[in-house]
A and B are shown apart, each in its own frame.
Chain A
Amino acid sequence: MTRRYPILKETPSQTAGPYVHIGMNPNVTGIHGVYEADLGAAMKTGAVHGEEITITGTVADGMGSILKDVVLEIWQADADGLFNTPGETRGTADPEFSGWGRAAADLQTGQYRFDTVKPGRVPWRDGRLQAPHISVWIVARGINIGLHTRLYFDDEGEANSEDPVLTRIEHQHRVPTLIAQKTGDGTYRFDIRLQGENETIFFDM
């Protein structure tokens, strides 16, 4: 028989806690001068390929209260469907676009915002193209292990209808929880609900 795998256990998760900003967005909580800028605050370093978009939204708990202490990270392909990382073997991604962003919700309003680009399509494991989407990771006080979800776009109806992930979801009435609503020219709204009515789909990926 083969050897036991895995041989080590992953380090267990613990909540990011209420003071997550100190480590991840220190300038947001008034700690200036340690880091020049908060990591992930800017995803674009110059003129980027493709359509520049802004995504805003909130994260609500099971009572409908907006979280003021949540931090979100996103990871996505560039406009041509390529990831800006050494592991990308299909081509070279837009060097002016990091593909990774981090945003703290506003400490007063709970609104988050990402200035990014509309991602291109990326193949699924079997080669089928996925619809344009963004991977989202959510951490906060009270969240014991970071939550993974995906953001799709409501103006990509045809691509969404053949997306390998969206089409395999058993509870199809929940799919809209993964779809950002276009609110204007290059602006999208994506509200996340952690629990209860219209609970966002979270993935174990």
Chain B
Amino acid sequence: MKNTPDPHAGYAARDRAWHPPALHPPYKTSVMRSPSAPLLSLPTSLGEETGPVFGQAMLGDMDHDLVHNYAEPGESAIGPRIIVHGRVTDETGRPVSNALLEVWQANAGGRYRHKKEGYLAPLDPNFGGCGRVLTDEQGFYEFRTIQPGAYPWPNGGNDWRPAHIHFSIFGAAFAQRLITQMYFEGDPLIPLCPIIGAIPQKEAVQSLIAELDMTRTVPMDARAWRFDIVLRGKRQTLFENRLEGL
């Protein structure tokens, strides 16, 4: 019955060869925090195919403006002003609307505002480092921030993280839940980073590097960087493909 549509096709399995493996010894913390037994593969069911949904009412007016959302009135964060924007789609190319993106980052000097962070670069009193935004009906999002700095971290003797912004993304399903990091085109630290180096394929690394976008850059204000995001998609049945005439 090959042509019968599967009423419960579920989400396509993750391509584990595309993602970083749990164990990547050059990233030392992964050595003791990676499961040693193989993951148990199961098809998705209701609990994985549903997920929490968030609405605009939950968001504050300044949530998508990291330049100002922690700043004193009349002040703003120090650093290169940037706009980060892009589109969230699933693997079939469909836009993911109402996706919640939470972002966090270091300040322009490479310092995080965190209790466990002690890098000698100073905190910026006007920069918290967190923001969030929902995608629109077509899957587009945009937020404003300052370009984060690179910073050193205790891993190898002299490891520096390239400038990056962390993203946490909710699609429509718990199976789509994803955390990743966005990097900046042209950063010479990218090929040196053991965390990026955990990603096996060059094309996959490339998909995490935002490109300078002069068409969205606001003159005399902020440069724009484009970062598109792809979440897992639902498995398509043979029947659906036939309907599309392919």
Q: Are B179 and A199 in touch, CB under 8 angstroms?
A: no
Q: Flag if A11 contacts B246 (CB, 8 Å).
A: no
* Residue numbers in B under 8 Å from A33 (CB-CB): 70
Summed over the interface, the residue pairs from A and B with CB atoms below 8 Å come to a total of 281
In the complex, are the beta carbons of B49 and A87 less than 8 A apart?
Answer: yes
Q: What class of interface size applies to chain B in its complex with A?
A: 35 or more
List the one stretch of B74-82, B110-118, B133-141, B184-192 in contact with chain A: B110-118
Q: Are B30 and A147 in contact (CB under 8 A)?
A: no
Which B residues lie within 8 Å of A22 (CB)?
104-105, 112-114, 128-130
Report the nearest B residue to A99, measured CB to CB: B52
A204 and B42 contact, Cβ closer than 8 Å, known pairs A8-B92, A62-B36: yes
Chain A interface size band reads 35 or more
List of A residues within 8 angstroms of B47 by Cβ = 75-77, 83, 122, 130, 133, 135
A69 CB → nearest B CB, Å: 7
Is B166 in the interface zone, CB < 8 Å from A? yes
A86 close to B (CB within 8 Å): yes
Contact A202 B70 (CB under 8 A): no
- Contact status B34-A11, CB under 8 Å: no
Q: Report if A83-B179 is in contact (Cβ < 8 Å); known contacts: A35-B63, A143-B33.
A: no
**A14-B208, A142-B27, A196-B36 in contact; A9/B179 too (CB < 8 A)?**
no
Contacts of B14 in A (CB 8 A): 10, 204
A-side interface mostly: loop
Chain B 1-55 residues near chain A, CB threshold 8 A? 8, 10, 12-16, 18-22, 24, 27, 29-37, 39-54
Contact B20 A14 (CB under 8 A): yes
A13 partner, pick from B19, B36, B62, beta carbons under 8 A: B19
How long is the Cα–Cα vector from A4 to B106 in the complex, in angstroms? 40
The verdict on A50 contacting chain B, using a C-beta distance below 8 Å, is: no
Sorted nearest first, the 10 A-B pairs with minimum C-beta distance are A23-B104, A142-B29, A6-B91, A100-B52, A142-B33, A204-B39, A2-B241, A144-B20, A22-B104, A14-B181
